[in-house]
Structure 1
Amino acid sequence: MSDDRDAVDDQSYDPDADHAFPDERLNDVLAFVERDEEIQTYLDAQNVNPVARMRYNDHGAKHVSIVRDRALTLYDLCYEGGVEFNGAADQGLDAADEPVIVALAATLHDIGHVVHRDEHPYYSIPLAADLLDRILDEWYDTADAVRMKGEVLHAILCHHTAETPLTTEAGILRLADGLDMEHGRSRYPYERGGRGINTVSSQAIESVTLKAGDSAAVLVEIEMHNAAGVYQVDELLKAKLRGSGLEDDVRIVAVNTSEGGENIVERIEL
């Protein structure tokens, strides 16, 4: 399944860039993930059930890349903005472990789709647990690996809106998952004839930009070209933000940029 979403890279995480947080351990983990055949195969295989069989939006390697990049961008902006993170800290782990938790959870959050789209977060847990045993052994002793594993699995579970994040790291992933909403995400199911509300509303989203905010640590700006995009923002994204623990730290503004005629919706602010 090819994808034309390469343009959605303005928020990409750059290992060589300067970041507000300690990133050496994160960069090592990301390099490991990128060259691991089993992980990369999961990211490809997990797209078959939702897209090819159910005509749902992309949940494969490109989705994971965008979610991980945006999660790390959110983390960087929140870290620089003084937002407190408690996942690694509560376990007695280092600050350098916080972005590792975020990145690994973002990478593995959707692998349960290889079993089924329905209830996939719960299928992701045992599959991710097996992979984490192998990944974490590269950098952590037994005790710290157990603690890291628990934090990553917690974040994976809580990207599902039915569950409540208990850590800021988990809240970051939950919100980042909702921020992959541009039109390219629904290209394949749309071309196959899928016309569900997720597909149609995603077609209306032009761009998503994350930057440092004034009244909050993070400002998310969303451009849409018609009112169908309201569903992505006011239903899906709002549900991700609600209960994430980041409600006071992230401001979301969506603007309808279509020209001509009267816009039913011109602006939404969360």
Structure 2
Amino acid sequence: MEQEYKYEVGVKLIEKTLPESDKVRKVWELLTTDVEVQAYLKMSNVFAVQRLRYNDHGPIHSRIVAGSALAIYKILTEKGFKPSVVADGVGDWEDSIIVTLMGAYLHDIGNSVHRTHHPIYSAMLTDRIAEKILSKIYGISEKAYMLKQEVMHAVFCHDEAYNCLTFEAACAKIADGTDMSSGRARYPYRAGKNDIHALSALSIERVELSPNGAKPLTINVYMSNETGIFQIDTVLGQKIATSGLAPYVEVRAYVKGKLFAVRSFETTHVIRQS
């Protein structure tokens, strides 16, 4: 019987999706209390929001994406998808969740250096941060270094210019695209930015993740007007198309509660499921 549940993307989602695992919860605690991590996230917003008038790329965005990534992970694994970390013998299910969580939370820290080439800077900064955090869980071990590389891959591949090669990276990447409701756009809009990016984002009222649809993952986007479709096609859609999971994802857009559009996104790359 199909499970009747859905997850609303937002700051509280991580509280629902963080598993009852001491190891995973310790990683979450380390991420959210680490001075270096939090400084880089704050500086990401100094560059992105204050200097470039982009939307939120800081601590709140990272928290939202982490919660969304774990929700996507849960929905798809309950549908039978096997994480790459497990399938390829790199680690177990807990390790896989940790990779997803860290990749989602750290993906944008490179904005603290520059928006241009930020996926590269994000991966570079993640190198030391992931080693520091993972060593507190796994010690100085081969597994810690192997998982660090998985996290760096997830961080690097969050940008639509790069294809994800792992399930964990794909969950983090799609999750990044789901943080597109009006709250994320309020800062640049208040600063005077009123282009199609800001206006379309302001029209999005909420985003929900659901297993109850024609495809394994359904993303429901509720909008106040039709301009929000721009966000779906140019932001979320590109993330899905390069995630490696595009054939399994459907986006349903609603305007004032009525179905407005259904989107699926083509891809040339699909992550192996075996």
TM-score, normalised relative to structure 2: 0.87
- Assess if the C-alpha contact under 8 Å between 2:41 and 2:59 holds in 1: yes
Higher helix proportion (structure 1 or 2)? 2
Gaps of 5+ in 1: 1-6, 260-264
- Assess if the C-alpha contact under 8 Å between 2:11 and 2:60 holds in 1: no
The 5-angstrom pairing of residues 1-270 of structure 1 reads 8-9=10-11, 11-14=13-16, 23-140=21-138, 141-257=140-256, 266-270=260-264
- Shift in Å at residue 91 of structure 1? 4.2
CA distance in 2, matches of 1:191, 1:74: 31
**Matching residue's letter, 2:161:** A
**Matching residue's letter, 2:197:** N
**Matching residue's letter, 2:72:** L
- Assess if the C-alpha contact under 8 Å between 1:175 and 1:244 holds in 2: yes
**Matching residue's letter, 1:178:** G
CA distance in 2, matches of 1:196, 1:118: 20
**Matching residue's letter, 1:26:** V
- Assess if the C-alpha contact under 8 Å between 2:10 and 2:179 holds in 1: no
String of CA shifts for 1:82-116, please: whole Å, max 9, x gaps. Answer: 11211343243111111100111111111111111
**Matching residue's letter, 2:102:** L
CA distance in 2, matches of 1:240, 1:23: 29
- Assess if the C-alpha contact under 8 Å between 1:204 and 1:224 holds in 2: yes
Provide the secondary structure at the position in 2 that maps to 1:57: coil
String of CA shifts for 1:154-198, please: whole Å, max 9, x gaps. Answer: 111110111111111111111100000000101011001012322
- Assess if the C-alpha contact under 8 Å between 1:13 and 1:73 holds in 2: no
**Matching residue's letter, 2:262:** I
- Shift in Å at residue 10 of structure 1? 5.6
- 2:267 paired residue number: none
Aligned-residue CA RMSD (Å): 2.0
- Assess if the C-alpha contact under 8 Å between 2:85 and 2:96 holds in 1: yes
Gaps of 5+ in 2: 1-8, 265-274
String of CA shifts for 1:189-248, please: whole Å, max 9, x gaps. Answer: 100101232212111101101122243222211111112111101121111111312223
Stretches of 4+ aligned residues off by more than 4 angstroms = none
- Assess if the C-alpha contact under 8 Å between 1:91 and 1:147 holds in 2: no
- Shift in Å at residue 12 of structure 1? 3.2
